[in-house]
Amino acid sequence: MLSNFLKFLALVAAVAAAYLFRGYVIMMSWQWLVVPLFKQPPITLLQSITLSFFLAVLMFHNEENTDSRSKSKRLAEGLLDHVVLLFYAYILSLFV
């Protein structure tokens, strides 16, 4: 019983950490690109997490999971995608 609860807590913590990281990536990309290019005000971490949540809901496709990769491999690739996006946004911000 306790083991299941700890697994649930670990899952909740992992999801929260993922949304925090996604929100951070969106916030920094916004500040590096949107603010100087379009003269928009910067957004807060809470606003970027909310934006991340709504983008995830809008882009969610209800398809069967036919991906043969393990969950940990998909998670690592998703994390790497966000790190690469953050790196590209930083590089682009140097030229803005």
Q: Which domain holds residue 25?
A: 18-53+69-96
In a domain, 30, yes or no: yes
CA angle 59, 56, 37 (to 5 degrees): 90
Q: Domain for residue 35, yes or no?
A: yes
Has residue 62 been placed in a domain?
Answer: no
What is the rounded average pLDDT for all residues in the chain?
88
- Is 75 within a domain? yes
Residue 3 is assigned to a structural domain of this protein: no
Q: Is residue 93 part of a domain?
A: yes
Can you tell me the distance from the alpha carbon of 5 to that of 34, in angstroms, rounded to the nearest whole number?
42
Name the more confident of 37 and 67: 37
Q: Residue 53: its pLDDT value, please? A: 85
What average pLDDT does range 69-82 have in this prediction? 84
Cα distance between residue 35 and residue 54, in whole Å:
21
Domain-located, residue 96? yes
The tally of domains found in the chain comes to 1
Is 59 among the domain residues?
Answer: no
The pTM is what? 0.80
